[in-house]
Amino acid sequence: MIPKPCIIDCDPGTDDAIALWLALASPELDVRLVTVAGGNVGLARTTANARAVVGLTGRAVPVVAGAERSLLADFRAEPAVHGSDGLGGVALPEGPPLAPGIAADAIRAELRAAAPHSVTVIGLGPATNLALAFATEPALADRVAEIVLMSGAWSEGNITPAAEFNAWNDPEALAVLLNLGRPLAIATLDLTAQAFVTPDLVARLAQRPGGACWQAALAILRALPASKRFGHRGFPLHDPCAVAWAIAPGLFGARPAHAEMDLAPGPSRGRTVIDRWGRLGRAPNLTLLETLDAPAFFALLAERVAALP
Ligand code: BDR
Ligand code: CA
C-alpha cells in the first residue's frame, strides 16, 4: 500500500485530537503537515493542543499555526463542549514547538512540492487556513487528490438552528472550497450523528489495552458532555469521521450532491444548502457522506489508536 500524502487542518478540540490520532496511526495516510486555526477554543490553546496531540505519538510532523479569526469576523469558541482548555480537561504533556511560518504558506509549500492530484487535504475546523491557501495560489488546487471536511449539515445545525459550527465559523472560507473544482467529500452533522458515543460504548472500548494516546482518547471520551440534541444519551464523534473516509471509504454510503453556502446575514447564515435529490438541476460539487457502519468505525478507531505509543 502506498500511503496517501496528507495535510490536516484542525482546531483541537476534543474530537480533533482523536481524529489526529486516528490519522497518525493509519498506514493509509502519510500525514506531512498539521495546520491549526482558532475555533473550538482560541488559537493559543488549539496550537498548544495540536502540538501535544502530535507530540504524544512521537511522530515528527510539523504543526503550523494559522488563522486567529475567520475571513470576515471573529471565531466563536465552544468551551461548553470542549472545555476551556479545548481537550475536556485532559492534560497532555507539552508537545514540541510550533514549526515556523503561517498555515496558509505551509499548505501552499507542501502542495507546490507535490505531484498533481496526489494530496489528501482533511479539514476538521473552520476552513479559513485552507481557503487562504487556495485563494492566494489557485493553481495549487491541481495538486489535490481529495478534500475531506467535517462541516455542514443537510438538516439542522448545532451552533444555530441552521448552521453547523465549522461552517458557521467561516462560511465564506467554506464557499471557496465548495467552488474549488476538485473532489470534495463532506461529513456533515447528519453523518456524524451515526458515530454516536454512549457511556456503554466507552466502557466497551476501554476494555482494549493501549498506550498513552489511547488512554488520553478514552479520557476525552469520558469527559465530553452528553448532547441535548440527543436527549443527553451521549454525543456524536464528529471529526474522526472525516479521517475515516480517507482511510476506509468502504465504511460509508455516499452520493454526489450539490451544495452552496447561505452567506446572507441573518438566521440562516452559515447554512450548507445541500441538494441531495438534484432538485436544482445543478452539477454535483461534492460527495455527501450519508451513512456510516458505526460498529466497524469504532472498531477501526480503537484498533488504530490503541496501537499508538
Ligand atoms: C465540529 O465543531 C467542532 O466543535 C468539532 O471539533 C467539529 O469539528 C462539529 O460541529
Ligand atoms: Ca474540529
Question: Domain segments of the chain: what residues?
Answer: 4-306
Let me know: does 268 contact 153? Beta carbons within 8 Å. Answer: no
- Give bridge partners of residue 167 from the DSSP assignment: none
Query: Residue 281: what residue type?
Result: G
Cell numbers describing residue 137: 495560489
Cβ of 16 closer than 6 Å to ligand 1, yes or no, is: yes
Per-residue confidence band for 82, with pLDDT thresholds at 50, 70 and 90: confident
Is the per-residue pLDDT at 80 higher than 90?
Answer: no
**In ligand 1, which atom is closest to the CA atom of 125?**
8
> Residue 124's pLDDT is what?
98
Is the per-residue pLDDT at 217 higher than 90?
Answer: yes
Pocket test for ligand 1, best of 45, 166, 243 (most atoms within 8 A of CB): 166
Q: How far apart are CA 75 and CA 165, in angstroms?
A: 10
Q: Which of 21-25, 82-86, 230-234 has the lowest mean pLDDT?
A: 82-86
Give catalytic residues, as residue numbers: 238
Cβ of 151 closer than 6 Å to ligand 1, yes or no, is: no
Cell numbers describing residue 112: 507546490
**In ligand 1, which atom is closest to the CA atom of 16?**
6
Per-residue confidence band for 1, with pLDDT thresholds at 50, 70 and 90: confident
- For residue 165, give the ligand nearest its CA: 1
- For residue 78, give the ligand nearest its CA: 1
Protein residue whose Cα sits closest to atom 4 of ligand 1 = 40
pLDDT digits (tens, 9 = 90+) for 109-120: 999 999 999 999
pLDDT digits (tens, 9 = 90+) for 269-283: 999 999 999 999 999
Cell numbers describing residue 157: 445545525
Q: How far apart are CA 153 and CA 50, in angstroms?
A: 26
258-294: b (≥16 Cβ within 10 Å) or e: bbbbbeeeeeebbbbebbeeeeeeeeebbbbbbebbb
Tell me the average pLDDT across 222-246.
96
pLDDT digits (tens, 9 = 90+) for 130-164: 999 999 999 999 999 999 999 999 999 999 999 99
Let me know: does 53 contact 95? Beta carbons within 8 Å. Answer: yes
Q: Which residues contact 250 (CB under 8 A, 6 or more apart)?
A: none
Measuring CA to CA, how many Å separate 3 from each of 19, 157, 186, 252? 17, 34, 21, 20
Average pLDDT, the chain: 97
Cβ of 190 closer than 6 Å to ligand 1, yes or no, is: no
What is the DSSP secondary structure assignment for residue 250, as one 8-state letter? G
The CA 113 to ligand 1 mean position distance, Å, reads 30
Cβ of 75 closer than 6 Å to ligand 1, yes or no, is: no
Protein residue whose Cα sits closest to atom 2 of ligand 1 = 165
Q: Residue 228 in 3-state DSSP?
A: helix
- Total number of residues shown for the chain: 309
CATH tag for 4-306 (out of 2.60.120.10, 3.20.170.30, 3.90.245.10, 3.40.50.300): 3.90.245.10
- For residue 10, give the ligand nearest its CA: 2
Q: Where does residue 227 rank: exposed (0-12), middle (13-18), buried (19+ CB within 10 A)?
A: middle
Let me know: does 147 contact 183? Beta carbons within 8 Å. Answer: yes
Q: How far apart are CA 74 and CA 68, in angstroms?
A: 8
pLDDT digits (tens, 9 = 90+) for 165-185: 999 999 999 999 999 999 999
pLDDT digits (tens, 9 = 90+) for 23-58: 999 999 999 999 999 988 999 999 999 999 999 999
Q: How far apart are CA 125 and CA 13, in angstroms?
A: 9
Is the per-residue pLDDT at 78 higher than 90?
Answer: no
pTM, entire model: 0.98
Location of C-alpha cell 453556502 = 261
